[in-house]
Amino acid sequence: MSISKKKVLSSPPAYALARAYQRLMLLGSVGFLLVVGLTVYDGWQRHMAAEVAVIHQRMHASVIQLKGIIKSATDQITQLASWSNNFPRHAPYQGSGEVRLAIELARKALPGGEVTLDALASLPPAHRLGQLVALPAASQPRAGGLPSDLDLALALVDRLGVDAQTSPCLRWTYFNAASQNLLLIAPWLPKKDLLGSEPSSRRFLQQAWQYEVTTAGLPANNPQRKPYWTRAYQDQAGAGLMISHAAPIYWGDAFVGVVATDVLLGFLDDFLRKFPDQEGLLTISNEQGQILGDRRATLVGQKSIASIDTLLPPHLLEGRTLDHLHADSIGSDLVFSASLDDPHWRIVFQIPKVTLQQRAMEAFSAQLYLSLFLVLVVLIINLLLWRLYVAPALQIADFVASESGGSHPALPKVPRLWQPWLDAMAQAFGDRRRYLAELQQSNEVLEQRVARRTQALQAANARLQALSVTDPLTGAFNRRHLFDLLNSERLRVLRGGEAFSLLMIDLDLFKRVNDAFGHAAGDAVLREFVLRSRAVVRQTDVICRYGGEEFVVLMPAMHQEGAALLGERLRCAMASTPVVFEGAQVAFTVSVGVASYRAGERLEELLSRADHRLYLAKAEGRNRVVCQA
């Protein structure tokens, strides 16, 4: 509470006492609460930071473990791609004895036909290294003396067969020739099982190039010739969620095909379940946003692959990426993420804020209870000080504010310590009210005089304003006001408003009226013309006396055709009924020239066109409306 020295508190003891209350209540209480609050806040933050640091360490350790698990797939493809790219330098290679025997048996069984390794079925499973489906064209050497696709496949059989046994996560490893004439796959399975429901080997090999694992390796899709990972997909044989890792094979500038391995992702669920923190939601997703692993339930048998967007919608991320989330607050959760470079996978951990707060609370409870006890003690002390000192001071302040605002409240009940100053203030306010009443009475008399003078001056100004823009005889606007209005309308049209039109009107043979009936009759005709015109035109139209018996009707937002119709109605209103003046009937007619404003033209040009059409109306016999030259 800010306290200033005023007349109602002119006593030095009162002012000093108020200042003492303020210092005691504010400086002492606020200072103590600030120290306690900072201590509590610092302790709470340290415990929360410790919980966050533990999660960061666990996420980092999980990334290292995951890199080690999938290293077998990346190493296998790297080695196979490197060996295949350099194959022309150490060809020819005919493969192992079992493979060469199987090839010879296949060729004898089907001379000039397809080549398979079905003959390996007679060998023990450990020696069935892989299956081969090759059309006859696969044995043709490439241009430039390069080996054939079959040469490379035979050389790869041993390597694919051995590598397929290095990790339980690897489902299939294969070489798919870009010529669509050959497919080598390990481990071995009969050709009929490999082809499934497809009876034609050629169509089977062509369809193999419809999948992402092969199309992503095409030169147009992978000009950098880098290894790549596909999107996740469900294995057609029901093995569960899978993903493929592949690399393109080039001999010089010639694209030979791709070597790839299919990785079963079921191990990710078990990997995530071993995460030390068992609370919260833990997932692994790829760069396409597909959820590859979720420790809540196995992904085997699911018909669709969930998206990370279902757990973290983009609108909640607010521009943040999943690669860099470090205890970010998203909704009611804190979200952590850690990323792998190759493949670009993300481990995302979502844990409710309440959970971390509860953990921090358990570690922080003793310090928190002590802080709450100290705060309670301070509140009790403040309550006592409030009742004895601050509350009476506020009551007196309210009394002073109410008196200053014009109301007259009853004296507040305060301790006897405050009563002398309260009585002095009450007396001072009583004197103040009496002085203000006298001053108010004097002000009211002065304000009444000023109001009468102001009203008279405003009325005079209004009359002068009306006289400056109106014609005193007819009550129509004068020529100067007409040009002000025309200029305003012109600017409105230039800003994109609708065009305006005007009627140039002249009373026919008006001199004869003056000569036959006198100038007083002529003045009556002019006034009657204005009255009838006002009854005909719209409320937005303006009637102006242009000079003598010539008038102009300004019609905003009116095109020429509408203006001509209005002019005809006005003409008929004048010709239909004579003007009665001192018992005499004075008949008169008008001639009207119509013109609409054209964007860009000067006002003089508009008035000249209207005047010219008025001239034509008179030349054609008067009492008519002309809107075309």
pLDDT band, very low/low/confident/very high, at 300 (cuts 50, 70, 90):
very low
Per-residue model confidence as pLDDT tens digits over 382-430: 777 767 666 677 667 666 766 666 666 777 777 777 777 777 777 777 7
pLDDT reported for residue 13: 54
High-pLDDT (> 70) share of the chain, %: 85
Range of weakest confidence among 191-195, 280-284, 426-430: 426-430
The tokens of 504 are what? 């140039």
Q: What distance lies between CA 247 and its chain's CA centroid? A: 40
Contact 466, 472 (CB under 8 A): no
Average pLDDT for residues 130-149, to the nearest whole number? 86
Contact 92, 238 (CB under 8 A): no
High-pLDDT (> 90) share of the chain, %: 29
Query: Taking every pair of C-alpha atoms in the chain, what is the biggest distance, in angstroms?
Result: 141
Cβ-count burial 238-277 (b if 16+ within 10 Å, e if not): eebbbbbbbbbbbbeeebbbbbbbbbbbbbbbebbeebee
pLDDT band, very low/low/confident/very high, at 467 (cuts 50, 70, 90):
low
Per-residue model confidence as pLDDT tens digits over 195-219: 888 888 899 999 999 999 999 999 9
Cβ-count burial 106-132 (b if 16+ within 10 Å, e if not): beeeeeeebbbbbbbeeeeeeebbbbb
CA 530, CA 588: separation in Å to the nearest integer?
13
DSSP 457: H
The tokens of 522 are what? 């002529």
DSSP-based three-state secondary structure for 329: strand
Average pLDDT for residues 593-609, to the nearest whole number? 91
Element (H, E) at 157: helix 149-163
pLDDT at 247 over 80: yes
Judged on CB neighbours under 10 Å (0-12, 13-18, 19+), 349 is buried
CA 540, CA 515: separation in Å to the nearest integer?
36
Spatial neighbors of 141 by CB under 8 A, at least 6 apart, are: 147, 148, 151
pLDDT at 2 over 80: no
Judged on CB neighbours under 10 Å (0-12, 13-18, 19+), 521 is middle
pLDDT at 103 over 80: no
pLDDT band, very low/low/confident/very high, at 176 (cuts 50, 70, 90):
very high
Q: What distance lies between CA 561 and its chain's CA centroid? A: 49
Residue 334, Cβ neighbours under 10 Å: how many?
A: 24
Range of weakest confidence among 59-73, 355-369, 489-503, 589-603: 355-369
pLDDT band, very low/low/confident/very high, at 5 (cuts 50, 70, 90):
very low
pLDDT at 8 over 50: no
Range of weakest confidence among 121-125, 317-321, 587-591: 317-321
pLDDT at 258 over 90: yes
Residue whose structure tokens are 């302790």: 43
pLDDT higher at 129 or 394: 129
Alpha helices in 235-352 (DSSP H): 266-273, 314-317
The model's pTM: 0.54
